[in-house]
Structure 1
Amino acid sequence: MKTKIAFGLLMGLLLLPTMLFADIVYQGKRVQEWPEEARPTFNNQSAGKPSFLLARTPVTQNKSHYAAPKGKIYSLTLLVDFSDQKAPVSVADVEEWLNKEGFNRDGCNGSVRDYYLEVSNGQLDLTNEVFGWYRAKHPKSWYENLQGYTGSDSLMKEVFNYFDPLVDFSRYDNDKDGTTEAINIVYAGAGETWGQGLWPHSGWSNERRDGVKLTHHQMTDMPGKFSIYVFVHESGHMIFGWPDLYWYGDYCTMGNRAHDLNPVAINDFFRADQGWIPFVDVTTNDVSLETTKPGEVCYRYKNPARPDKEGLVWSYVRNTGRNKVLKGSGLLMQHYDFSIEGNSASDKLGLRIVRANHTEPSLNGDKDQWPNPGSTADAFFKSGTYPEFSDETYPAITWYSGAKTGLKITDIGTPGETLTFCIGGNCPAQESSSSQGIASSSSSAPKPESSSAVEIKIEKIAFDVTLPIDDNYAYVTLDLKGDDVAKVLGLQKSEIADKIKFYGVEPDGSLNSRTTGEGTGHWFDKDGKIVVWNPNGNSIVYSNVDLSTMTTRIGHMPNKVKAGDSFVVQQAIVYESKQITFEITVTVQQKTTRISNIRSSKRGNPGNLIFNALGKPVGKRTELGELPDLPKGIYVEIAK
């Protein structure tokens, strides 16, 4: 009788679409991780990630293991319904579901765009452009009943063919490497059978349109009620190349499906690999009392024998916000090994949770990859229950070679607004009152002259920028006169990025080492004070500097400026005894108009300026008010 009940429960789970994993499908077969030749890539030369030693000294920029796009990423979403499953929502509804700030239909905690802005600390703005609905050639049941994923492949080609005359697919090659990053197909109705038909998945194709390859795409169902987990999860496969984290638990959206409406955050290891938060590298010689906030940094201890492949990482995870569904808080430790492709067997995982209560699947032979291990309070290290980690207290936690790790963490505190712990053991008592850890060291830096007897010579370079009003974070690129800056500093232009220190400058002239924008960038309020990104707060203007090219991208928060507004923001670079401050006066232009259909916008006011979606000028209207000759795409028109 028990066997029958267990079997019945299992079959019930297999038939319940909202409770199972979506898939990665490559050449018609399910895989746990993209194979090497099919991994998503992103050509982002300026996307270096800050990494620190415990002394907080920046070290060599790290190359991401996974694709690491930054800034505004345009994604295409194509809608399709069927004769036996008609569209349950409108195109406008889908646009809000994917893009609207604060989207809350059916209980969703924000839109898909909100999710990625939040987990990336504002560094990734995934913006979907939606087309549809297209009525498929066959009923939905026809595609669902084909073997394996042949039904989804057939629908994918059909959808691409239909929308080809209407869409410029090259627009979604964000890094201009000849391959699109984000093509989504959303179909009416629910997924039916796991591993067959139209079951939600991230897929691969050999399609080529508008001069670009459409290799990676994803397919998501739209049953009529909104939720964001599936779209967020499949985007993780498609855009970044993250694997399915089987035997991992609820601690990441790439793991279990813990919550459809408020998906768990991306784990801090993946976030640090993207550069969304810093890595703090630890060695066996370090002794340091640390204080950290939830999701602020990711500590990394590399296997000395295989430093490029294997290591332990940990961070403070608290069950609030995106992680509200988790059953505990504290230090969450993970063991990674890049030589293992995905999580395909419980005893050897590419990324696993090192549970404080010793019950890793790799230790107990757990054969259940879902829904266990779920989450548990005993997975977290914290005061009172599991206050330390070492080879002595956790002899079963070794490198995959069987060698001891050599890592020691003691005196782990009680979870609260911050969490303290000691690296190396025997932290000096005086550090407990004086050490502020990464939380304060990354906030506000003093003026260089206050910490050095050397007189700092300050030079100021002033710039004026005219910024169009835009509802999509469009930017204007400003040349920071890198050649002139290099001469003043006594450097080669190519040396600037590696040798200088970069700061934001507060209105009183003090230097702030905390970056709040994308990469080496800042958000500012109306008075030029440095603030964090917050659509509902006081962040108004951003300046994201690329030190490798000595340019910066200037833009504004949507719906926060009006024509004629003016702001002054300042950033600075310091090298030895020299400081160069960039003072940028930003003036907002007249009202803009979005052009999404060139045919219907042929006539307008003569002389109006036309910009592409990246904020670059592409021409102006003729004396007769006609548009210049433009390829299909989306443009912004600014009144003369």
Structure 2
Amino acid sequence: MSKIVGEILTFPSGNENIKLRVFGDEFYARRESLDGYTAIYDNNLEKYCYAKLDNGKLVSTGEKINGPIPSGITPHLKEVPEVIKEKFQQQYENSGYSNIEDINLKKNTDDGVNKTKGDNKGLLTGDRSSEGKVLGLTILVEFSDVSTTVTSQDVEQMLNGENYNENGNYCSVKKYFNIMSNEKLEYSNHVIGPIKLPHNRDYYMNAPFPFVEEAMNIVVNDLKIDLSIYDSKRRGIVDAINFLYAGQTVYQGKLWPHNSYFSKDYNGIKTGFYMLSSLGRNVSDISIGTFCHETGHLLCRFPDLYDYGNRDGDYVDSEGIGVYCLMGSGNHLNKGRTPSPICAYLRDLVGWCDKEINLNNKGSYTIKHGDYNTVNKYNTSKENEYFIVENRASFDLDSYLPSSGLAIYHCDIKGSNEWQEDNLAYHYQCALLQSDRNLDLERNVNNGDKGDLFGQGNGIVLSNSTIPSSKEWDGSDSGFIISNTSEPNINIKIEVL
């Protein structure tokens, strides 16, 4: 899934284009005018209009959103949880996840698609392909009314290039996962197309499954592509299929960037999980962030570390881990060109960290930036609950973070980043302790600011009695005490008491 948090996007509305702020994902989203009034698309008028509430549901006023404000309308209108849940369920029923065949995967979706709760030891249920050589199939797709000037060679470089930095991208997708996994995962892609689908783009926004099925039929039946070469584990299922469609990203319906599931047998090889996103209008739009985020779901079975606002029994918005992880909203940093690293918590879960530093042993430690092979961990008295310390100073892939310094995560593989309550029953799976004490991530104020990470500190920086504290989720003293942190740099020194 790919969540949008207040980004300004352009939408067709009648005979003009308008800019709206978007909040949500492919299963439920809300839109606002730039001055904060909720907008809804009026199918009869074929334009975005001011919304009003009718029995807890957003309906159109019939007045266009860029016109005079109707009397009695207030900003930031939201639907009631029951309506949100109903709309979510309708979208889910038309998604690929409602067709998952494997009962072990269905256990992960009691009220919908991949959730923020990782039921498989912190990860999403399903077979991982997070190590070894994996060859993905990437298909470029045009519509009858939308073509692209982006070539397969352009995408090939974005995905596989060794020294790729076009458009300000930090690296290629292959290089990103090579860095994050300490060379344990070599993920490259075979790029084909563009192929052309028979209908216009709007048709595919709302139809249940024709985009994926029509594209795959062309790939296998017309282009004669042998899917078995994309099955690295020889299990009869393609490891990774990626669809990149022509034009700018459409944050509506079935064209919203997402990771989903489509199973069909082609000559003895089945399709399975796939990713869908946009190519952009031209080569200057190409960025790696969303592709990397969706690949995190696809290959590694990473859960999202952000809050959907309507999953896992919770209907309160928060930001989860924010921009401090690829699987939060960090895929959008630098317009997607310098995505945030995968946080140490998730790297550790998939076995990419060969070295574990036990912070339960008192002493002085040097926390190195970019040491993706190491996890610095303090274990609490509770099984599956622990703290991780990571250097997130402003270098390399961390260059576009709003804060620079020491990141301290409070982790529990049985938590959910939907749960911002901070108690034993309901808490984040991976919470960033925010140095400024404001709890902006939990309170949905922002997805990261300059006060989040720990800078230079003399004396006690973190303990049972500080704010934020190192208390366990049940309020008991974990015993974790950090003092005398050095200034943000390639090496940050700390003392554990």
Q: 1:206 to 1:34 in 2, by over 3 A?
A: farther
- How far apart are 1:402 and its partner, in Å? 2.6
**2:304 matches 1:241:** no
Matches within 5 A, 1:280-359: 280-282=356-358, 284=360, 286-296=361-371, 297-306=374-383, 309-340=384-415, 342-347=416-421, 348-359=427-438
Contact 2:357–2:376, Cα closer than 8 Å, also in 1: yes
Q: 1:188 to 1:395 in 2, by over 3 A?
A: closer
The corresponding residue for 1:462 is none
Contact 1:184–1:218, Cα closer than 8 Å, also in 2: yes
Q: 1:349 to 1:366 in 2, by over 3 A?
A: same
User: Which protein shows a greater Rg?
Assistant: 1
- How far apart are 1:122 and its partner, in Å? 2.6
Show structure 1 runs of 5+ residues with no match: 1-8, 43-66, 426-640
- How far apart are 1:33 and its partner, in Å? 3.8
- How far apart are 1:266 and its partner, in Å? 1.2
The corresponding residue for 2:41 is none
The corresponding residue for 1:163 is 219
Contact 1:77–1:131, Cα closer than 8 Å, also in 2: yes
- How far apart are 1:129 and its partner, in Å? 0.3
1:43-86 CA distances to partner (integer Å, 9 max, x unpaired)?
Answer: xxxxxxxxxxxxxxxxxxxxxxxx36223211111121011101
**2:481 matches 1:408:** yes
1:232 to 288, 292, 302: 292
Q: 1:11 to 1:72 in 2, by over 3 A?
A: closer
The corresponding residue for 2:466 is 393
**2:418 matches 1:418:** no
- How far apart are 1:12 and its partner, in Å? 4.7
- How far apart are 1:213 and its partner, in Å? 3.3
Q: 1:338 to 1:10 in 2, by over 3 A?
A: closer
- How far apart are 1:36 and its partner, in Å? 4.7
The corresponding residue for 1:102 is 163
Partner Cα distance (1:18, 1:86) in 2: 26
- How far apart are 1:333 and its partner, in Å? 0.7
Q: 1:315 to 1:187 in 2, by over 3 A?
A: same
The corresponding residue for 2:231 is 173
Q: 1:206 to 1:385 in 2, by over 3 A?
A: farther
Partner Cα distance (1:361, 1:173) in 2: 43
1:344-400 CA distances to partner (integer Å, 9 max, x unpaired)?
Answer: 2332322111112223357xx6145xxx13232x22223237862111224755322
Q: 1:278 to 1:14 in 2, by over 3 A?
A: farther
Q: 1:36 to 1:283 in 2, by over 3 A?
A: closer
Partner Cα distance (1:182, 1:388) in 2: 44
The corresponding residue for 1:190 is 248
- How far apart are 1:192 and its partner, in Å? 2.2
Partner Cα distance (1:119, 1:19) in 2: 30
The corresponding residue for 1:530 is none
**2:441 matches 1:381:** no
Contact 1:205–1:216, Cα closer than 8 Å, also in 2: yes
Matches within 5 A, 1:586-625: none
Matches within 5 A, 1:435-514: none
Q: 1:392 to 1:112 in 2, by over 3 A?
A: same
The corresponding residue for 2:310 is none
1:125 to 145, 168, 186: 186
- How far apart are 1:270 and its partner, in Å? 1.7
- How far apart are 1:21 and its partner, in Å? 6.7
The corresponding residue for 1:366 is 443
Secondary structure (helix, strand or coil) at the match of 2:299 reads helix
The corresponding residue for 2:52 is none
- How far apart are 1:276 and its partner, in Å? 3.0
Partner Cα distance (2:210, 2:351) in 1: 37
- How far apart are 1:128 and its partner, in Å? 0.3
Q: 1:10 to 1:182 in 2, by over 3 A?
A: closer
The corresponding residue for 1:571 is none
Secondary structure (helix, strand or coil) at the match of 2:323 reads coil
1:112-165 CA distances to partner (integer Å, 9 max, x unpaired)?
Answer: 112222222333221000111211121111112x2xxx45x2201111111124
Show structure 2 runs of 5+ residues with no match: 12-18, 28-94, 100-111, 307-318, 422-426
Contact 2:117–2:429, Cα closer than 8 Å, also in 1: no
Contact 1:40–1:240, Cα closer than 8 Å, also in 2: no
Contact 2:147–2:246, Cα closer than 8 Å, also in 1: yes
Q: 1:120 to 1:69 in 2, by over 3 A?
A: same
Partner Cα distance (1:330, 1:174) in 2: 39
Q: What is the TM-score of this pair, normalised by structure 2?
A: 0.69
**2:144 matches 1:83:** yes
Name whichever of 381-390 and 344-353 sits farther off.
381-390
Partner Cα distance (1:385, 1:375) in 2: 22
Contact 1:33–1:242, Cα closer than 8 Å, also in 2: no
2:348 to 272, 276, 282: 272
Amino acid at match of 2:220: D
Q: 1:164 to 1:329 in 2, by over 3 A?
A: same
Partner Cα distance (1:160, 1:353) in 2: 41
1:407-426 CA distances to partner (integer Å, 9 max, x unpaired)?
Answer: 11222222223121112x2x
1:215 to 246, 249, 272: 272
The corresponding residue for 1:206 is 263
Secondary structure (helix, strand or coil) at the match of 1:27 reads helix
Partner Cα distance (1:235, 1:335) in 2: 25
Amino acid at match of 2:218: Y
Q: 1:160 to 1:335 in 2, by over 3 A?
A: same
Partner Cα distance (2:401, 2:276) in 1: 28
Partner Cα distance (2:327, 2:125) in 1: 16
Partner Cα distance (1:266, 1:277) in 2: 12
* Superposition CA RMSD, Å: 2.9
Matches within 5 A, 1:480-629: none
Amino acid at match of 2:391: Y
Contact 1:356–1:386, Cα closer than 8 Å, also in 2: no
Partner Cα distance (1:168, 1:11) in 2: 40
Partner Cα distance (1:13, 1:133) in 2: 25
Secondary structure (helix, strand or coil) at the match of 1:244 reads coil
The corresponding residue for 2:31 is none
Q: Percent identity?
A: 25
Secondary structure (helix, strand or coil) at the match of 2:254 reads coil
Secondary structure (helix, strand or coil) at the match of 2:457 reads coil
Amino acid at match of 2:397: R
Partner Cα distance (1:11, 1:218) in 2: 21
Partner Cα distance (2:458, 2:322) in 1: 21
Partner Cα distance (1:405, 1:23) in 2: 39
Contact 1:34–1:241, Cα closer than 8 Å, also in 2: no
Contact 1:203–1:217, Cα closer than 8 Å, also in 2: yes
- How far apart are 1:20 and its partner, in Å? 6.5
The corresponding residue for 1:555 is none
- How far apart are 1:228 and its partner, in Å? 1.1
